[in-house]
Structures are given as C-alpha cells and as structure tokens.
Structure 1
C-alpha cells in the first residue's frame, strides 16, 4: 500500500474516532504504564519557550505547555476534528497559538530553526516516512533545541493474550506497514524496531540524551489481561518508550 493511501485511510479513521481520544495520553503523561514529565523533567524550564507539538491531537499537551509558561504554542495534526477541538481547548491561552492541519511527513510552511522544543506524545509512530519526519523536526529546532517523543513500545503489540497465557504472535524483527489490531484493522501503522527509531534519529543529526522504557505499574491490576493495555502485559514488556534528543 502506498504512503498516500495509508495517510488517506488513517485520516478517515481519525475523523471518525477522534472523540474517544480527546484528552487522553497528553502531557504531563507520556503514555500507559510509564513515568510522567512530573517525575522525568525531560523538558526542564518551559517558561518563555516556543514549542511545537507533532500530532497535537485535542491540544491538551499544548495546554499543559501553556500552563508551564510557554511563549508560543504551535501544533500540527492530520485530523480536522482534532485541530478544531484543539482550537477550542486552547482558546483562552495567554500564549500565541498556531494550529496547522497537515501530515507530519510534510512541512506545511513551519519556520526553520525557530523552536526551542519540539515534542510528540503517542503520535509520531503514525508517520509513513520516519526519516523524512525526523529530518523536518531537526530543521524546525533551533541549534541546541530539545526534541522529546513517546510512542507505544514496538514489543507491545507483538504479545497477545490467548487461552489464559501471553504468546508472541507477530515477529518483532519484520518491519513495515500493517493493519493495527488496536484499531480493529481499520488503520495502518508501520511496525518498527526500537533500534530503527534510534538510528533514524542519529541519521537525522540528533544527539540522543535519554532512552526510557521503564515500567510504572499501578497498585491494582487490570481485571481483564486481554485488554490492549493491561498490567499483566506490562509486567512482561513495556507499553511505552520515550526518547529525548537535542539538535547540535
């Protein structure tokens, strides 16, 4: 399937499904069963910074950045409904807000060498072209700027609960686009190894500072271990990974 077809399919699915994700997996949270920004402090001081959110969704991560004192809040998202919702969520921000509907694989006119911080919370893994997306992000940042992103750990959906036990039902080492079970096979996401993300960032010019896949479990366990995100699965493989890097 061509990248343009995948983008079209995924956009259609997001327009239908966006509402169930409003406000979910947003800063200061990085994703399921992992540490938060309150604990990790990957961004440091945000006050007075120009920030860009790749896959900004409903705008709740940008809202967090605004509360922390960011000077400019920029967001990019493929989904019309997400952008419209983000506009509503961010309408009372004191910071300047600019939201743009566009796939992350393209630069829709964002300024080069402008941002202090670029980040993506559980969105960047949707890209159909990882190298191109990282190259754009590198260009958007000022020298010395910070890039932080989180995504579902690539081991997570390889493991499935069947007949009272967890088994690996997909290869970790075979990469490429595939229909995603978590989206009832109505969306296509590229499976990539963790090393693929890391090496693509290095190739784009980034200096890696941290790679985090620590697991943080709640006191109570999930009642249903077959859920997409269950504590039982998180006891075996991380649900989330986080990478912090900087521009030379």
Structure 2
C-alpha cells in the first residue's frame, strides 16, 4: 500500500466529489459499455447482502436498494463521497453501512459475509491490487460473486492526434501513473487484462465472464464528443473492462 499515493488521491477526490456526483453508476458499468439490464451479471439481488468498493456518491447502492437488496454496505476513500452517499440513501429511506477508508485495508467489514461485492470504475485507484483482491475475497461467502469494471487497459495506451490513432505507450508497461486528464494530481494503476485475470485466480476466484464489448446509443455521439472517451476511439479500442468472478467453494479450493 502506497501511503503517499493514497494521500494524493484522497485530496483529489475531496476536491472532485461534486463533479462526479451520480456519474456512471449502476446499471452503467462505464462509458459506452453494456449496461446491467443487457448483461444481468448480478441476477436477482433481493435479500442479498451487497458491498460496494469505491461507492462514491452512493448511486450504485441506491440501484441495489431499489432492487430489493437485503443489506447495503459501502467503502470509499473520500469523506465527501461518503457524506454524499449517506445523504442520498437516507433521503430514499435506505439503511446503509458506510466506511471512509482505502480499499487496501479492512475498516471493520465482516468476513465471509457478503453475497455480492462489486466495484464500478474504481478498482484502478487501488495502490495494492493484490491486497485489495485478497480483502474482497475475505468479505465474500463461498460462492459469492465479485463484479468490477475499470477503464480498459488499452484505452490509455492509444492517443488521437491529427486525425490518427497512435500507440503512445506500451501495453506491456504496468504500474502507477499520473492521469493526464484529471483536474488535479491523481495516481492510478495500469494493468494488462491478463494481470487482472491471473491476480483474481491467485486470490481464489473463479472467472465467470470477461466483457470488452462497446455499446453506444445515438446520445453517445454528442455526449462523448472531444472527451477522453470518444465515440470514434471506442470503435477501435474498448473503453471498459468488466469481469465477473466468484469465490471458490471449499471443495473447489481443495482440488486446486
């Protein structure tokens, strides 16, 4: 866990929380990505215990609550995001347990407890992916599912210049980077698709689905003009990586 990067990112999010209020929550997984109603990755969540990693303003938890989830839990690095989530969910009448904490540490969450853990466009903010996945695995019941989305690793490797798309960085290059399009300094993590998959397997997960498809509607033509996620670029490079996996059952662990 990189304490300095966490400090930088917390300060950045405290300043940016209002700008990202309600931005791309479930049923969205990311810009120009398929939505939950198309993929049904969670299935029925009625009465299930769910945990949101990087819960932001709480809108994804609201989505789960409206679909009858039994318990709503969330964790986020930003105090402003946690306060926004508390206000939103209380206003809608939902009981929620929220923790202001980095995802790399367990702030007091129960172990082997949750049916569903998910993270919508937040996992790339971790400073320690191995520890974060180990934590998620420990929170889930055997057989529980983990779904996350993040910017596709190819997306930041390709740049649009003078009408052409060129590779400006190697896909093989992994590790922390200072995002050039963020308003304030922000340290994110770059990993290959294979790295995510292998680290999930090593943490004790079974991969269920990997989604890289691009889905766009007419409104996306205007919504993403001249932005980091452009419609033109999405025709060549996926914007979003979505992975669904499950915590291995005890007997499956013994067979490994």
Segments of 5+ residues of structure 1 without an aligned counterpart are none
Q: State the SS of the aligned residue for 1:56.
A: coil
Map 1:114-133; keep pairs closer than 5 Å: 114-133=113-132
Question: Would you say 1:83 and 2:86 are equivalent positions?
Answer: no
Counterpart-to-counterpart distance in 2, 1:183 and 1:94: 34
Which residue matches 2:42? 43
TM-score of the superposition, structure 2-length normalised? 0.93
Which residue matches 1:19? 18
Q: State the SS of the aligned residue for 1:181.
A: coil
Map 1:215-234; keep pairs closer than 5 Å: 215-219=214-218, 221-222=221-222, 226-234=226-234
Q: State the SS of the aligned residue for 1:178.
A: strand
Which residue matches 2:207? 208
Counterpart-to-counterpart distance in 1, 2:72 and 2:92: 9
Pairwise CA distance, 1:225: 5.7
How many residues align? The count is: 247
**RMSD (CA atoms):** 1.5
Question: Would you say 1:243 and 2:253 are equivalent positions?
Answer: no
Pairwise CA distance, 1:28: 0.5
Which residue matches 1:28? 27
Counterpart-to-counterpart distance in 2, 1:193 and 1:25: 23
Structure 1, 215-224 or 78-87: larger mean CA deviation: 215-224
Counterpart-to-counterpart distance in 2, 1:149 and 1:245: 9
C-alpha distance after superposition, 1:203-241 (max 9, x if no partner): 000000000000112236359764201100000100001
Counterpart-to-counterpart distance in 2, 1:145 and 1:6: 31
C-alpha distance after superposition, 1:96-122 (max 9, x if no partner): 310000000001110000001000000
Question: Would you say 1:4 and 2:6 are equivalent positions?
Answer: no
Contact 1:71 1:95 in 2 (8 A): no
Segments of 5+ residues of structure 2 without an aligned counterpart are 249-256
Task: Tell me: CA distance 1:79–1:28, structure 2 relative to 1, closer, same or farther (3 Å).
Answer: same
Pairwise CA distance, 1:25: 1.3
Question: Would you say 1:58 and 2:62 are equivalent positions?
Answer: no
